[in-house]
């Protein structure tokens, strides 16, 4: 069966309600927390993507027991120090930077060397950024050209550290938090603002972690944990997956969409703030707090006049996975949009800043890019009447889905390769797209 699709029909005039897949960040964190909890944890609406399944396979290799039932997944953990290590095991993180980096923190006390590998895309990403602080705990880590494959052997007498996280990487911050939970003494982290799912789960589980929020950074203090209670969790829908349909609706004609039960954690909704500044009509309905996370139904209606934006860099970390879709909105906005200090995009599954510019250029949109910024010259009357081919993008799921949205909004005939890439984060994406066409 071919691993590419052709999209040549725009989607217009829909008024529907949908539910997207469970949050990937929370799904992976549930797996990791449950693996060091004592007893049986359950998750409903767990995202069954390749990234999450890779996390499940990893904790199984470390001695946790996993069982899938019809409506939920169960993990039985053996406590914070309960991993059962054998010599010479290999953990395959596949395409998941979240798994690869976070699990390194959990291996800070392993007595045996463990190898971590990943796919071609993940192997190109920077793992030195997390190896450096973990080495200060006492871990022995050997990298391949700052990336994967790597080997890690922990230290059963690891020492607490002071750590400055200045990239806005929730993955690096979370990995150090996990290492701190396994280390005697107090670990101090000064972290640039980024996703705080790990901290919220620590708070809900009443773990020894304190957060002092400042204007531009957080001061985090973490100590060794003796026991973690089981974590029963209903995973809310993913805002990053919802983003594709938020943008599709905003750019379509005479359309309305309600996305149910979405995680609207303030550290994740940079896209909402940015799109509202550009004139998109988005509302939150039925807001509630669930185990520390804010959940709501997200309502979107078509937008006729879009404004360009000089995007404030303080919004970057909260929108880091959604910029490719935001660029599509800028393509149809009136004026020149400017996004700066976004070089972190090139540390993702593919060099996304470069791919964002490439997609826009193929669409006929002028851009000016540097290694850290992009200017997008919008065209409110943009319509595409040519063939566009998207391939060789390191199978980055967000490049694939962004291309499908662009084709569905602006027209043209798009031949988009590597459709299996969506299995890493959003296996039902094309099903929802097809449902909106009906």
Task: Return the active site residues.
Answer: 321
Q: Phi and psi (nearest 5°) for 312? A: -65, 125
Question: Are the CB atoms for 218 and 166 separated by under 8 Å?
Answer: no
b/e 109-125 (16+ beta carbons within 10 angstroms → b): bbeebbebbbbebbbbb
Task: Give 406's strand partners.
Answer: none
Q: Give the whole-angstrom CA distance, residue 5 versus residue 226.
A: 51
Question: Are the CB atoms for 103 and 32 separated by under 8 Å?
Answer: yes
Q: Which two tokens stand for residue 191?
A: 């972290």
């Amino acid at each position: 069966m071919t691993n590419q699709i052709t999209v040549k029909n725009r989607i217009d005039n829909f008024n529907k309600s949908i539910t997207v897949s469970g949050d990937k960040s929370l799904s992976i964190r549930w797996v990791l927390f449950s693996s060091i909890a004592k007893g049986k944890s359950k998750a409903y609406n767990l995202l069954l993507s390749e990234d999450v399944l890779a996390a499940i396979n990893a904790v199984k290799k470390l001695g946790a027991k996993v069982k899938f039932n019809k409506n939920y997944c169960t993990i039985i953990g053996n406590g914070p120090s309960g991993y059962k290590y054998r010599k010479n095991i290999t953990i395959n993180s596949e395409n998941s930077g979240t798994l690869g980096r976070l699990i390194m923190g959990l291996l800070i006390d392993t007595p045996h060397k463990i190898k971590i590998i990943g796919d071609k895309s993940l192997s190109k990403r920077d793992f030195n950024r997390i190896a450096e602080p973990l080495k200060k705990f006492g871990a022995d880590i050997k990298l391949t050209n700052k990336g994967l494959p790597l080997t890690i052997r922990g230290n059963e007498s690891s020492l607490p550290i002071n750590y400055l996280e200045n990239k806005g990487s929730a993955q690096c911050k979370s990995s150090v938090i996990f290492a701190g939970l396994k280390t005697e003494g107090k670990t101090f982290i000064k972290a640039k603002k980024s996703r705080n799912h790990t901290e919220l789960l620590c708070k809900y589980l009443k773990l020894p972690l304190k957060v002092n929020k400042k204007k531009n950074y957080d001061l985090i203090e973490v100590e060794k944990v003796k026991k973690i209670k089981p974590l029963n969790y209903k995973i809310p829908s993913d805002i990053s997956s919802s983003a594709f349909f938020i943008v599709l609706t905003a750019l379509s004609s005479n359309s309305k969409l309600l996305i149910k039960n979405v995680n609207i954690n303030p550290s994740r909704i940079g896209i909402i703030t940015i799109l509202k500044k550009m004139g998109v009509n988005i509302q939150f309905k039925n807001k509630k707090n669930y185990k520390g996370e804010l959940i709501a139904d997200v309502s979107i209606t078509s937008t006729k006049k879009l404004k360009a934006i000089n995007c404030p860099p303080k919004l970057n970390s909260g929108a880091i996975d959604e910029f490719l879709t935001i660029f599509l909105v800028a393509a149809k906005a009136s004026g020149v949009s400017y996004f700066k200090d976004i070089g972190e995009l090139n540390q993702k599954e593919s060099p996304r800043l470069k791919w964002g510019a490439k997609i826009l250029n193929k669409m006929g949109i002028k851009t000016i890019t540097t290694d850290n910024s992009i200017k997008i010259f919008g065209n409110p009357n943009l319509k595409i009447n040519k063939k566009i081919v998207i391939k060789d993008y390191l199978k980055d799921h967000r490049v694939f889905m962004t291309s499908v949205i662009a084709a569905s909004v602006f027209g043209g005939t798009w031949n988009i390769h590597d459709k299996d890439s969506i299995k890493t984060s959003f296996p039902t994406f094309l099903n929802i797209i097809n449902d909106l066409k009906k």
